Amino acid sequence: MMSTRKIDQNELVVFIDAKPAEIIDVTKDIFLCFTGVTASFNVPFEYKQFKKTRSNWRKIRTVTKLKKQIQDGHFDIKAISLVGKMNGHYVRWACDSLNHAYTKIGAEWTIENDQPKSLSWKGHIFELKHALGISIYSSMLAIIGLRFAIFAKNQQKYEKLLFVLDNLPIDSAAGMELMKAISMTSDNLEMWKRNLEYEVTFQIANLASYSNEHIINVPGKEHPIGILSDWLSVSSLAKINPKQVKVESGFSDKDIDRFVELWEAVNSRRSFDLINVDDPEVINKVKANEKKRTTRVKDDKTT
C-alpha cells in the first residue's frame, strides 16, 4: 500500500485497471481486460468511475463527453489494453507461471478430486481463481511495462515508472507480495530485465490516496487517470467483445457503439494499443518470442 506522497517530475505515473476483476474464473466464458493509462489534462477532469456513474443514460452522456474532449485535444493520453478470454490463453499462461514458480517460492497446492483448489503461501490461502488472476496480472504488467518504458525513454524526461494498481481481492497486501514473488521466479523476470534496458526504474503499488492543489488525501480510486483507465477498460471490452458489456450493463447496441467510439477517439491519435491475446497473429508472435528466448537461454548455458 502506498500512502499519500508527491510525484517526482521525472516520474511517469501509469494507472492499471483490470475488468471485470483481478481473477481468472475458468467456468466463465468471458473476457478479461488489463488497461494501463497515463494522461495529462488541460481542462478540469470532472468524471466519476464507471460503476459510480448511476444509470445508463448518465454513463452514455459521460462517455460521449469524454470522447468529445479527447477529440478536441484536451486530454493527452497514452494507453494499452490487453484483452483475452479467461478460459483461453490467459489461463494457460497463468498456469505456466504458477507451475514454474510455486515450488521455488515455497507455495503448495491444495488438491481436491485431482484438481487444484487453492494455493497456500506464507500463511495465506488464495482460491484458485485469485491465484490465477495474480499470476496473469504479473505477466500482463511486464508487457504493459515494456510499452511505457519505451514511451518514457522516447519522452527523454522520465527516469521512473510508477504503476498504480487497484486493491487486489481478499488480501491486497498478500496478493501484491505473491505477484512480486511470481515475477521474480518465472519467465516474467526475463521480461522485466528487458524493460530495464530502457533505463527506467519501476515501482508497483496500490495508491491509498493522493493530494492535489485543493484537497489532501483524496481516495486513490478518484485520481483522474485512475478514473480514465476505468472507462477505457470498458471501451476496450466493448471493442473486442460487445456482447459481454451489453449483457453485464444492460446497454443497447447503440450504447455499445458509443463506447467503441471512445476507444476509436483515443486510437485515432495513435496512442491506444489494443491487443487481443487470443488473436492467432498475436499467438504466433508469442510463440516466436518464446522460441527465441529458449534458444538464448540454451546459448547462455553453453558459453
Backbone phi, then psi, for 48, in 5-degree steps? -110, 165
Residues 234 and 29: beta-carbon distance below 8 Å: no
What pLDDT does residue 1 have?
Answer: 45
The model's pLDDT over 199-227, given as tens digits with 9 standing for 90+, comes to 999 999 887 666 655 555 677 778 899 99
* Residues in CB range of 109: below 8 A, 6 or more apart: 102, 116, 117, 118, 119, 120
What pLDDT does residue 222 have?
Answer: 85
In the chain, where the domains are located: 11-302
What pLDDT does residue 76 have?
Answer: 95
18, 58, 81, 242 from 66: Cα distances, Å: 20, 12, 18, 19
The neighbour count for residue 208, using CB atoms within 10 Å, is 14
User: pLDDT category, 166, cuts 50, 70, 90?
Assistant: confident
Residues 22 and 179: beta-carbon distance below 8 Å: no
What pLDDT does residue 294 have?
Answer: 54
Cell numbers that stand for 263 in this block: 476507444
Q: What are the DSSP calls for 20-58, one per residue?
A: S-S---TTS--EEEEEEEEEEESS------TTTS-SHHH
CA–CA distance, 33 with 236 (Å, rounded to integer): 8
The model's pLDDT over 222-249, given as tens digits with 9 standing for 90+, comes to 889 999 999 999 999 999 999 999 999 9
Range from 129-133, 169-173, 293-297 that averages highest in pLDDT: 129-133
Give the least confident one: 122-131, 145-154, 161-170, 243-252.
161-170
3-class DSSP assignment, residue 7: coil
CA–CA distance, 119 with 8 (Å, rounded to integer): 38
